[in-house]
């Protein structure tokens, strides 16, 4: 028997009832957009029951996560992201053991988040929760469970674990640029890569992937349509997101410096005399050395921090958020404003002080 009803949120509920021997059983779903979809699912489900198919595959939480990951996620993920999913799988195994997916309750999951969040930074907790939530939504679609036990769970985080990425001030950027420009050698390309990051805000993988065909010296543009797997050194890979594919304008200074690398006669812009593109460890080591030569000391500063410094520089000179968002390859300004909220807040505070000083002179 099937019962169909429209919910307050606009979705349709389908509930089916059947007898398993003397026992009355029920199963429901409330995710359907139309009444037709709800009826179709109910009829299909009841047909499976009458045909003698297993109604619920009582799989463990851990086993379902691994199967979901291998089937739906792994084929299209980068090696770095795959490693993150494997960490989540280990967390599920440690916390829930062989507990059946159908037996996990919202209270159980909240306790897991409470425990995990107490020792991890906000970003780590959010990413972990996001991965598990996607898995559970898939489990509902696969008829493994009826309800989403991750829904309306309160995220607990340890803000002491949060690392605030430092960025360079205008004077520090000038110091670093001056040092780099006076210590360039085409045989060693790391300094060129650091300089490129300062002037463009590009990610390390995007910089590593540059070929000479990507640079238009006449139009003063760099085309970004691929990335480089610098972690496993497996070659080209897609950009981080679709919106990361973009073309940015650059100035003569950085273009003239990059031209110096043409004498290496390599297809890849930053391929050095050893026929290699400097690794993440290599460019970060060189960045720390260059900063030391400039007497710049910043905790937790690494190559990606140059992207933050580029944003800080553009904000300082009054470049609007929309233009910055497009230059960085974000899907919209919301992403930019959230990611760089601390920079925007700091700039606002300085602007407020300036406004107050101006008004005092009236």
Instruction: Give the CA dihedral 319, 329, 349, 303, nearest 10 degrees.
Output: -110
Same domain as 243, residue 185:
yes
197 vs 175: CA distance, rounded Å? 15
Residue 358 predicted with pLDDT over 60: no
**Mean pLDDT along residues 143-168:** 85
- Domain of 311 in residue numbering reads as 170-353
Specify the 3-state DSSP secondary structure of 236.
strand
Q: What is the CATH number of the domain that holds 110?
A: 1.10.150.130
Which has the higher per-residue pLDDT, 86 or 46? Answer: 86
Same-domain status, 93 and 46: no
**Statement to judge: residues 153 and 276 lie in one domain:** no
Q: Is residue 44 domain-shared with residue 94, that is, in the same domain?
A: no
* Beta-strand relationship, 221-224 and 227-228: unpaired
pLDDT at 293 > cutoff 90: yes
Assess if residue 178 is contained within a domain: yes
Residue 253 and residue 147 share a domain: no
202 pLDDT above the threshold of 70:
yes
Residues 43, 107: one domain?
no
Structure tokens at 284: 């970060």
Least reliable range by pLDDT among 14-18, 157-161, 262-266, 332-336: 332-336
Number of folded domains in the chain?
A: 3
At residue 356, does pLDDT exceed 70?
no
In the chain, which ranges are continuous DSSP H helix? 35-50, 61-68, 79-96, 106-117, 122-141, 170-181, 190-200, 204-208, 252-259, 280-293, 305-316, 321-328, 333-339, 341-360
> In terms of domains, do 335 and 194 share one?
yes
Is the same domain home to 202 and 339? yes
pLDDT for the residue numbered 191: 97
Q: What is the mean pLDDT of residues 216-222?
A: 96
72 and 33 in a common domain: no
| Confidence at 338, pLDDT banded by 50, 70, 90 | confident
Residue 348 above 60 pLDDT? Answer: no
Is the domain of 305 the same as that of 287? Answer: yes
On whether residue 181 sits in a domain, the answer given is yes
- Whether 359 is covered by a domain: the verdict is no
Q: How many CA atoms lie within 13 A of 354 on its CB side?
A: 6
Is the whole model's pTM more than 0.75, yes or no? no
pLDDT for res 341:
66
55 inside domain: no
Q: Which of 135, 161, 187 represents a domain boundary (last residue)?
A: 161
Indicate if 219 and 243 belong to the same structural domain.
Answer: yes
């Amino acid at each position: 028997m099937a019962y169909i009803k429209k919910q307050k949120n606009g979705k349709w509920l389908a509930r089916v009832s059947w007898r398993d021997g003397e026992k009355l059983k029920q199963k429901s779903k409330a995710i359907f957009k139309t009444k037709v979809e709800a009826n179709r699912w109910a009829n299909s489900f009841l047909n499976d029951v009458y045909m003698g198919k297993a109604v619920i595959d009582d799989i463990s939480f851990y086993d379902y996560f691994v199967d979901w990951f291998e089937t739906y996620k792994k084929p299209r993920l980068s090696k770095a992201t795959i490693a993150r999913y494997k960490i989540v799988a280990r967390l599920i195994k440690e916390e829930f053991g062989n507990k059946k997916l159908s037996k996990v309750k919202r209270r159980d999951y909240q306790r897991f988040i409470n425990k995990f969040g107490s020792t991890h930074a906000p970003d780590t907790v959010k990413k972990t929760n996001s991965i598990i939530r996607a898995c559970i939504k898939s489990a509902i679609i696969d008829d493994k469970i009826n309800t989403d036990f991750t829904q309306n769970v309160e995220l607990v985080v340890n803000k002491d674990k949060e690392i605030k990425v430092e960025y360079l001030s205008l004077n520090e950027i000038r110091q670093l640029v001056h040092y780099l420009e006076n210590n360039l050698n085409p045989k060693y390309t790391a300094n060129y890569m650091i300089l490129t990051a300062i002037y463009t805000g590009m990610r390390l993988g995007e910089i590593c992937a540059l070929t000479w065909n990507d640079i238009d010296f006449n139009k003063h543009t760099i085309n970004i349509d691929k990335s480089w797997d610098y972690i496993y050194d497996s070659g080209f890979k897609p950009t981080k997101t679709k919106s990361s594919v973009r073309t940015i304008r650059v100035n003569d200074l950085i273009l003239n410096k990059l031209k110096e690398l043409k004498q290496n006669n390599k297809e890849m812009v930053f391929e050095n005399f050893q026929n290699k593109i400097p690794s993440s460890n290599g460019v970060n080591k060189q960045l720390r050395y260059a900063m030391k030569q400039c007497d710049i000391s910043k905790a937790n500063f690494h190559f990606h921090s140059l992207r933050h410094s580029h944003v800080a520089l553009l904000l300082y000179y009054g470049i609007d958020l929309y233009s910055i968002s497009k230059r960085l390859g974000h899907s919209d300004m919301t992403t930019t404003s959230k990611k760089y909220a601390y920079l925007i807040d700091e700039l606002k505070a300085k602007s407020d002080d300036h406004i107050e000083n101006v008004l005092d002179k009236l």
